[in-house]
């Protein structure tokens, strides 16, 4: 391998981690699962909380599920390279209500 190739590889190795670290953990938007369930997340506010809405396309019965509220919070983006976020889904079913929690890394 020539000197130019080594310099190019070294430059790429130094730049790529910086570019990845500079990306923000932006959760806002519409997320669709492979089973056609939809999650809509609104913008993170200055307190580090967000809200959203979840609508499942998958049910165990023939009764239609209703949309569900989704409150959440994210660790301050500057606190870590990969901030932690969590949310709960307050399921609204015609046969009863449930709640699930999720905690993830960006």
pLDDT tens digits for range 19-67: 444 456 788 899 888 888 888 999 989 888 999 988 887 766 666 666 7
Q: Is residue 4, in this structure, part of any structural domain at all?
A: no
Number of domains in the chain: 1
CATH number at 95 reads 2.40.128.30
CA torsion angle 22 25 29 32 (round to 10): 110
* H/E stretch holding 19: helix 3-22
Please give the average per-residue pLDDT across 9-14, as a whole number: 44
Q: Is residue 3, in this structure, part of any structural domain at all?
A: no
Strand partners, 104: 85
pLDDT attached to residue 42 = 92
CA atoms of 95 and 46, how far apart (whole Å): 37
Phi, psi of 11 (to 5 degrees): -60, -45
pTM of the model: 0.62
Q: Is the pLDDT of residue 106 over 90?
A: no
Give the structural domain span for 54. 25-105
Q: Is residue 2, in this structure, part of any structural domain at all?
A: no
CA atoms of 75 and 104, how far apart (whole Å): 11
Q: Is residue 6, in this structure, part of any structural domain at all?
A: no
């Amino acid at each position: 391998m020539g000197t130019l190739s080594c310099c190019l590889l070294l430059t790429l190795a130094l730049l790529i981690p910086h570019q990845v670290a500079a990306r923000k953990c932006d959760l806002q938007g519409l997320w669709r699962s492979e089973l056609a369930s939809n999650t809509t997340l609104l913008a993170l506010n200055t307190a580090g909380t967000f809200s959203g809405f979840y609508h499942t396309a998958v049910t165990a019965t023939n009764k239609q599920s209703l949309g569900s509220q989704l409150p959440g919070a994210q660790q301050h983006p500057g606190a870590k390279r990969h901030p932690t976020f969590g949310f709960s889904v307050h399921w609204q079913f015609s046969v009863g209500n449930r709640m699930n929690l999720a905690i993830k890394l960006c």
